[in-house]
Structure 1
C-alpha cells in the first residue's frame, strides 16, 4: 500500500492500519488493510443508501408525512448543508423512524456476557460466561416498547 505524502501525519483509519497492532504487536500484511478498506467502503456506503431507500419508501407510502417534511424543508431560506439539516426536527425524526423500522444492517446484536454464576431470565437459566444477545430489530418492533411497532410514525 502506498501512502501519498501530505506534509503532516494524518489521523484516519489508515493511520491505525499501517501501524503495529497494539495488542498483538504485529504489523498488518499487505492484504489485511485492503480487506479492511472493502469493509469500510461497504459499511459507509451501503448502509447510507439502504437508509435513504427506506426513508424514501416510507415517505412515498405516507403522502401526509412527505408533505410535512417538504414543508419543513421549503420553509428554510438558505443553503441546505449539514449544519442546517441537522436542525430539521422532522427530517431527523423521519430518518430515525426509518432506521427503527428497517435497520440497514441486521446483525446489530447487543451482546453481553453472563456473570460467572449464571443468570435466570424470565424463568430460563443461562449458564455463566455465555455470550448472549438480542437483535435490534426485535427490540425495535416489540409492542412492549412501541405502541404501534410496525407503523411509520416519525411524530412520536
Structure 2
C-alpha cells in the first residue's frame, strides 16, 4: 500500500484516536484492559479503511476475522501428522469451523462489493475512496490488469486479517515493554510531549520528528515480530550449509530467532531502543538481521499502514496519559509470557491504570486528536 493511499486514511485514524482517547480519559484512575481496547480500535480503523464509514456489515465481518485469526493460529494435528487428518472431524472439527467462517466472510464481502457497485454511479468524486473502491477500478476490465470478484474478496480478507491483528499485537507489546522499562518510558514521553507541545497539537505529521519513538517501535518489532515465522517457497534448487534444498521446497524463516541472535545484536534479550538511533537498519528487508516485515518481493505490502497504526496510538498514549500497573504491582513483575500461535501476542492481556497528563488537551477538536 502506497504512502499516498495510507495518507488518504488519515482522517479516519484521527477520528478513531479521538474516540479512543475519550474512552481512556473517561476511565482515568481505573484499571482498564488496554489489550482489548487496542484490538477493538485497530479492527475499526482497518474495517473503515476497507469498507467505508457506513458499512452495515462491519461488526459482523470483524467478529468473523477475529474468530478466523484465533482458529488459524491454533494447533492442527494434521499439520504435524498428515496421516491422522481423518481424526479432525471426529475430535476437533477444525476444518469444518474454518470452512464455515470462510463461507460467512465470503458472503459478507460479496454483499459489500455489490453495495459499492450500486453506489458507485451516484457517488461524489470528493468522497474518500476506501479499499474496495480502489480494487473495483480493476474489476473485470477488458485490458491490462484485471481483478475478478473472487480476487477482490481474497485481497480484502488478506489485508484485513494481516493488518489488524499484527498491528494491535505490536502496539500491545510496545506498551508492555515501556511499562516494564520506566527509563525508556520516560524518555519516550519526554520526546512526544516536547514535539507535540512545540507543534501545538497531537498531529500525525509530527511523528516523523520523533526519532526515539520510532526507535521504540523498531526495538519492539525486533523482540516481538508479530509474524515470527515467515513461510516461503524455494524458487530454485540451492544449497545451504551443505544441505541441498530442492526447488518448490516450503521453508520457514524464523524472524523471531534472527531478531535475538547475539551474533548481530548486543544484549539481544534486553529492550534498548537506543541501538537504532544511529543505525542504518530499516524495515525494507535489506538488512537480513532485521526482517519484521519479511524481505524481497513477498515482504508485507501493508508495512506503511501497519507502522502508522502502531506509531500514532502509541504517541497518543504517551502524550495524554501517564500509566501505572494495578494493585501495587512493580514494573519488573509484569508478565511478558508469549502466547502460542501464528502471531505471537502476550499470553495475558495488559491491564493498566491511566492517569491524565493534562485534562485540558483531552477534549480538543478531533483534528488535534
Which of residues 152, 159, 163 in structure 2 aligns to 1:40?
159
Distance change >3 Å, CA 26–CA 35, structure 1 → 2? closer
Aligned length: 151
Contact 1:114 1:131 (8 Å CA) reproduced: no
Q: Offset at 1:89?
A: 0.4
Q: What TM-score comes out, normalization by structure 2 length?
A: 0.36
Structure 1 residue runs of 4 or more that deviate by more than 6 Å after TM superposition: 21-26
Structure 1 residues 101-112: aligned runs within 5 Å: 101-109=223-231, 111=232
Paired residues for 1:30-109 under 5 Å:
33-34=152-153, 36-76=155-195, 77-78=198-199, 79-109=201-231
Quote how far apart the aligned CAs of 1:38 are: 4.1
Contact 1:114 1:132 in 2 (8 A): no
How many Å apart are 1:26 and its aligned residue?
7.1
SS at match of 1:125: strand
Instruction: Please give the secondary structure, in 2, of the residue aligned with 1:132.
Output: strand
With 124-133 and 67-76 compared, the bigger mean Cα shift is at 124-133
Q: Deviations over 1:54-90 (max 9, x none)?
A: 1000000000111111111122212221210122000
CA drift at 1:123? 2.1
Distance 1:133 1:41, change over 3 A: closer
Partner of 1:139: 258
Are the structure 2 counterparts of residues 67 and 119 from structure 1 closer, same or farther at C-alpha, using a change threshold of 3 Å?
A: same
SS of match in other structure, 2:268: coil
2:148 paired with 1:27: yes
Structure 2 gap ranges (5+): 1-113, 276-369
Structure 1: gaps of 5 or more residues: none
Query: Aligned equivalents of 1:34 and 1:124: distance in 2?
Result: 40
Shift of 1:145: 1.6
Quick one: distance in 2 between partners of 1:155 and 1:16?
A: 40
Match status 1:13 vs 2:131: yes
Q: Given the two structures, how large is their TM-score scaled by the length of structure 1?
A: 0.77
User: Aligned-pair RMSD on alpha carbons?
Assistant: 3.1
Q: Which moved more, 1:95-104 or 1:143-152?
A: 143-152
Larger helix percent: 2
